[in-house]
């Protein structure tokens, strides 16, 4: 252990762990975005709003269940499903008519939807800060690295991240819908020509992607104050992660989220006032040397 501390002081190690738990949230949200971008080619700005809706739904569900442990688990299941329902309505009602249009229009339409969602959240939940209690088993701290406290809930996040990554990989690569969606991403007309209803395949992929946004929101809810505007910075971060990872590549999203989360948490050690600058600078450096992202994009 002393050898490790000589290379990485405990403070740095603790900060890496903080960065990794941030990475988990970023990865879960941006992998959904990446899936949608890769298959449907929609730059979905409303993804951030769905993340926010997920967090608010988690608040409501956990409150309905009395705010205890049961409430947390119910929220973890219920909020993503609620978000999936909302996204299904949005996809069937709006987006499906615009797949052939250019990206600019799609981006602006999804921005319009995000504005609508933002105000609907304000109507339903109000503008006050909300907080979701951390369940009892995850309360408190563990003391890592010579006594630096680390919230147990964040350890839970570190476990959830890889599970989601593997599950998503299995869905995309091993299930029938995953294979069809990958084929549809490459050649939509051909897939339609062999008798598959591409429109519904797209809808399912869209819903899975948005479900991940809702899951991210439900997971982040106990660690932050749930509030309006929490979507604004997150969606930009998610887009940048997807871009530097390679559009539509799930491992790229993981890599991008790692870069983003770690540069952010370590940046704070280097320069606390402008720590948040580092991830953006990292994105710029990556895009200067690898303009189409680190890993292979599906486009």
Partner 1 sequence: MLKGMLEGRGRIWWAAIIILMFLLPFILPRFYLYLLSIILLTGLLATSLNLVLGYGGIFQFHHAVFYGAGAYGTALILTKTGLSPWVSFIVGPLVSAALGLIIGWICIRLSKLYFAMLQISLGSLVWIIVYRWYSFTGGDDGIHGIPLPDILSSSNNAYYFTLIVTLICLFAMYKIVKSPFGSTLQGMRDNPVRCEMIGINVKRQQLLALMIAGFFAGVAGSLFVVVDNTVFPDMLFWTLSLEICIMCLLGGWFTFLGPMLGAAIIIALRTFVSTYTTYWALVLGILMALVIFFLPNGVLGYIEEKIKKGFIEPVIKE
Chain residues in the site for partner 1 (CB under 8 A) = 43, 45, 94, 97-98, 101, 103-105, 107-109, 111-116, 118-120, 122-123, 232, 236, 239-240, 243, 247, 273-274, 276-277, 280-281, 283-284, 287-288, 291-292
- Complex with partner 1: residue 154 or 297, whichever CB lies closer: 297
Least distance (Å) between residue 167 CB and partner 1: 27
Least distance (Å) between residue 288 CB and partner 1: 7
**C-alpha–C-alpha distance, residues 39 and 195, integer Å:** 18
- Complex with partner 1: residue 3 or 288, whichever CB lies closer: 288
- Complex with partner 1: residue 266 or 276, whichever CB lies closer: 276
Phi, psi of 48 (to 5 degrees): -65, -40
Alpha helices, DSSP H, located in the chain: 2-7, 10-39, 47-64, 69-93, 103-125, 152-174, 176-186, 188-193, 198-220, 230-245, 250-270, 277-289
Cα–Cα separations (whole angstroms), residue 13 to 109, 157, 273: 43, 17, 20
- Complex with partner 1: residue 104 or 159, whichever CB lies closer: 104
**C-alpha–C-alpha distance, residues 215 and 210, integer Å:** 9
Least distance (Å) between residue 267 CB and partner 1: 11
Least distance (Å) between residue 28 CB and partner 1: 20
Q: Report how far Cα 202 is from the mean position of its chain's Cα atoms.
A: 19
- Complex with partner 1: residue 184 or 235, whichever CB lies closer: 235
- Complex with partner 1: residue 179 or 290, whichever CB lies closer: 290
Bridge-based pairing state of the strands 148-151 and 141-144: antiparallel
Least distance (Å) between residue 13 CB and partner 1: 26
**C-alpha–C-alpha distance, residues 219 and 266, integer Å:** 22
Least distance (Å) between residue 211 CB and partner 1: 23
């Amino acid at each position: 252990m002393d050898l490790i501390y000589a290379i990485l002081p405990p403070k740095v190690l603790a900060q890496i762990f903080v960065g990794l738990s941030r990475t988990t949230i970023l990865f879960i949200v941006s992998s959904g975005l990446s899936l949608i971008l890769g298959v449907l080619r929609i730059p979905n700005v409303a993804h951030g709003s769905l993340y926010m809706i997920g967090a608010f739904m988690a608040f409501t569900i956990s409150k309905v269940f009395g705010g205890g442990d049961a409430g947390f688990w119910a929220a973890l299941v219920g909020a993503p499903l609620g978000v999936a329902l909302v996204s299904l309505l949005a996809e069937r009602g709006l987006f499906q008519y615009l797949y052939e249009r250019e990206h600019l229009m799609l981006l602006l339409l999804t921005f319009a939807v995000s504005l609508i969602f933002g105000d609907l959240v304000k109507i339903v939940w109000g503008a006050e800060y909300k907080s979701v209690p951390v369940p009892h088993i995850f309360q408190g701290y563990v003391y890592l690295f010579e006594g630096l406290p680390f919230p147990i809930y964040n350890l839970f996040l570190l476990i959830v991240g890889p599970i989601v990554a593997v599950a998503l990989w299995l869905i995309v690569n091993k299930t029938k819908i995953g294979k069809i969606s990958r084929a549809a991403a490459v050649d939509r007309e051909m897939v339609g020509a062999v008798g598959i209803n591409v429109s519904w395949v797209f809808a399912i992929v869209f819903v899975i992607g948005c479900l991940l946004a809702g899951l991210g929101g439900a997971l982040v809810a106990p660690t932050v104050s749930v509030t309006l505007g929490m979507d604004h910075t997150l969606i930009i971060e998610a887009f940048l992660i997807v871009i530097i990872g390679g559009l539509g590549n799930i491992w790229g999203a993981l890599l991008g989220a790692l870069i983003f989360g770690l540069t952010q948490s370590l940046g704070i050690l280097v320069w606390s006032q402008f720590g948040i600058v580092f991830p953006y600078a990292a994105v710029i450096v990556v895009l200067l040397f690898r303009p189409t992202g680190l890993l292979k994009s599906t486009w």
